[in-house]
């Protein structure tokens, strides 16, 4: 099956009733038929039938070997960071969701893991920063919020040549547009809160590994069982429901985003537009080669910080809010929201400043989004 069909039908597992909508199994525990016998379900932290269906769905969409559905994107990233040990060196994209930087520096940093941030869209730079103890490369592509594109295939080759894992945060594109495991990555993580959910009503996360029988899969399974970050059955059902429309949502969002990016380029108040679907974007060709779409995220800079802040207060249709990927358009001010705790040195390196706005394009009529942006920019 192709992507739209997979998103609707998943693994086509129907229970004895034939219910088309996956049942929600709200059971914390499961009866055993007898001593040393199990239905396959014993206790909800370890496995739940609704969550199992969702995990199977994500595995199919990412073309992976095994997935875990957890309570947030940060819970997913935490499971991956648990794979590293004191003394390990991990390279990360320097343009990265601020919460990931906080988890790395302020939580795992205290356990002796050495996290280093570099521009992973520059392959040669990454190659020069590999050390004997480098055990992981963690990237966002496109990156958040500067929309830089990193070469998943080449980075996977580099990581594997040095006995390291390539981990891709695939939140910005969703598996509908990009399947990093097919490009050589070892692990994909998601904030499922974003495109996979698409309706701003669940906080969720996913980890998917390439090989279900690998040592990495075994470790993550053990961490999940031991720490209990699992997604609830109710949220798993909502997520399955959301994924049925993933393809049509993200395609509409990407089509809207391209038009908006082109329009922003013509606006006198706008000084920079960052969208990989614009042919002049430095990552355009690479993005075309490794993904099937450019996504619904874009950032832009206006003439002054005062104007950026005024725009946020003048919006009508678009909401000034954190997060991304939903059917509603959201405008974010990364400096004080998603990247508020980013070290100043990283902000300076990436160019994230007080003039930057990040737009998560929704599925509204593009004319209405443009009209709202036009009035907000003009004041």
Ligand X SMILES: Cc1ncc(COP(=O)(O)O)c(C=O)c1O
CB atoms within 10 A of CB 112: 11
Q: In this complex, which beta carbon is closest to ligand X, that of residue 126 or of residue 202?
A: 202
Give me the residues paired with residue 187 across strands.
Answer: 167, 209
Q: In this complex, which beta carbon is closest to ligand X, that of residue 126 or of residue 139?
A: 139
Q: In this complex, which beta carbon is closest to ligand X, that of residue 240 or of residue 366?
A: 240
Smallest separation, CB 200 to ligand X (Å): 11
Give the C-alpha separation, 360 to 345, whole Å: 26
Give the C-alpha separation, 178 to 293, whole Å: 8
Smallest separation, CB 75 to ligand X (Å): 7
DSSP character for 43? B
What angle in degrees, to the nearest 10, is found between the helix axes of 233-243 and 49-62? 40
Catalogue the active-site residues.
45, 97, 169, 194
Smallest separation, CB 193 to ligand X (Å): 4
Smallest separation, CB 192 to ligand X (Å): 7
CA angle 76, 77, 79 (to 5 degrees): 65
Pair 322, 337: CB distance under 8 Å: yes
Q: In this complex, which beta carbon is closest to ligand X, that of residue 171 or of residue 269?
A: 171
Give me the residues paired with residue 167 across strands.
Answer: 138, 187
Pair 296, 254: CB distance under 8 Å: yes
CA angle 35, 41, 45 (to 5 degrees): 120
Q: In this complex, which beta carbon is closest to ligand X, that of residue 196 or of residue 270?
A: 196
Q: Which residue is nearest to ligand X (CB)?
A: 73
Give the C-alpha separation, 167 to 169, whole Å: 7
Q: In this complex, which beta carbon is closest to ligand X, that of residue 50 or of residue 332?
A: 332
Smallest separation, CB 145 to ligand X (Å): 9
From residue 50, alpha-carbon distances to 20, 74, 117, 333 in Å are 13, 22, 38, 36
Smallest separation, CB 70 to ligand X (Å): 9
Q: Residue 138: phi, psi to the nearest 5?
A: -115, 120
Q: Which residues bind ligand X (CB under 6 A)?
A: 72-74, 97, 99, 140, 144, 169, 171, 191, 193, 203, 205, 338
Give me the residues paired with residue 115 across strands.
Answer: 90
């Amino acid at each position: 099956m192709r992507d739209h069909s997979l998103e609707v039908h998943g693994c086509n597992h129907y229970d004895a009733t034939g219910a088309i909508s996956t049942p929600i199994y709200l059971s914390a525990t499961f009866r055993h038929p007898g001593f040393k016998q199990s239905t396959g379900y014993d206790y909800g932290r370890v496995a739940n039938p609704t969550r199992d269906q969702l995990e199977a769905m994500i595995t199919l969409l990412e073309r992976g070997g095994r997935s875990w559905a957890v309570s947030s994107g940060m819970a997913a990233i935490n499971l991956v960071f648990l794979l590293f040990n004191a003394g390990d060196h991990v390279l990360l994209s320097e343009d990265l969701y601020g919460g990931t930087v906080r988890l790395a520096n302020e939580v795992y940093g205290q356990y002796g893991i050495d996290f280093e941030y570099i521009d992973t869209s520059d392959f040669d730079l990454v190659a020069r920063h590999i050390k004997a103890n480098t055990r992981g490369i963690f990237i966002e592509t496109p990156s958040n919020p500067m929309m830089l594109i990193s070469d998943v295939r080449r980075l996977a080759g580099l990581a594997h040549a040095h006995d390291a894992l390539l981990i891709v945060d695939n939140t910005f594109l969703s598996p509908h547009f990009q399947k990093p495991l097919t490009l050589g990555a070892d692990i994909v993580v998601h904030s499922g809160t974003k495109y996979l959910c698409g309706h701003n009503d669940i906080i969720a996360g996913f980890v998917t590994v390439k090989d279900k029988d690998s040592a990495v899969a075994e470790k993550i399974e053990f961490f999940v069982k031991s720490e209990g970050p699992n997604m609830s059955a109710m949220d798993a059902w909502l997520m399955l429901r959301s994924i049925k429309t993933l393809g049509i949502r993200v395609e509409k969002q990407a089509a809207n985003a391209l038009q908006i990016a082109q329009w922003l380029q013509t606006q006198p108040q706008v000084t920079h537009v960052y969208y990989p679907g614009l042919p002049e974007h430095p990552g355009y060709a690479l993005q075309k080669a490794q993904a099937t779409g450019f996504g619904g995220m874009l950032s832009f800079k206006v003439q002054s910080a005062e104007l950026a802040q005024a725009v946020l207060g003048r919006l009508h249709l678009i909401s000034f809010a954190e997060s991304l990927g939903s059917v509603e358009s959201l405008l974010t001010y990364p400096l004080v929201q998603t990247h508020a705790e980013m070290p100043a040195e990283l902000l300076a390196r990436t160019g994230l400043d007080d003039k930057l706005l990040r737009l998560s394009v929704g599925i509204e009529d593009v004319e209405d989004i443009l009209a709202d942006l036009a009035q907000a920019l003009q004041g």
